[in-house]
Amino acid sequence: MSRTYQNQIRQIPLLGPLVDCHLRDHADALTQTFIVLLLSTAPLWLGGLVIYGVNTQNNLTLMEAFLRTMEHGELFMYGTALLAPMFWVALVDPPGARIFPSKIPHMVLIAIIELIASVFFGLIVAGNPVKPGFTFHLSVAVFWTSLFLLYLGTVYHSNRLPSASDAFKQDETDFSKAYGEHRDERS
């Protein structure tokens, strides 16, 4: 891919910085996102298994049991919880790390999702009448969008951190330089 083409792609908000990410960054992000998803949603999938396992009175399918754990807006709450770490990741640049790419679009989308999810979850919990089908599908969309933003933020974070070998080499170089300067001062 030509440098000009890459530079044009980099300018695309939110997705453009993917041009600079490597396969290692995606592998790290997939692993981290999977673990976060598996552990954070355990009440949903485990709850579905429990509902299915203890229901002996009717022909409830496993999918129906699983959906029961999300029918009251729970995915709004899970979606916002997935995004909470991204505020820190996007806003704080660790020593030696490059700035978080596409920070503004990422934060704007997170804020929009947080607001939508908070309002609808609040309405549901307060017992206000809502359209159940609409709010369920909206909660699913919020959750999947949150998961995508978590993955994207994790890829960018992984890419912007210096590799461990580079960090060790830099530490060794800094130590050697400081030792050399100290030694020269004593001579």
Predicted confidence (pLDDT) at residue 168 exceeds the cutoff of 60: no
Considering only 10-24, 32-46, 153-167, which range has the smallest mean pLDDT?
153-167
Decide: 78 and 140 in contact? Cβ < 8 Å.
no
- pTM to 2 decimals? 0.81
Q: Where are the domains of the chain?
A: 21-161
| Distance from C-alpha of 97 to C-alpha of 148, rounded to nearest angstrom | 22
Predicted confidence (pLDDT) at residue 147 exceeds the cutoff of 60: yes
Enumerate residues 6+ apart whose C-beta is below 8 A from 127: none
Strands, E assignment, the chain: none
Enumerate residues 6+ apart whose C-beta is below 8 A from 9: 16, 19
Helices (H), 69-131: 74-91, 103-125
Mean pLDDT in the chain? 87
pLDDT digits (tens, 9 = 90+) for 73-110: 999 999 999 998 888 888 888 888 888 888 899 999 99
In the numeric block, the tokens 């909660």 are attached to 139
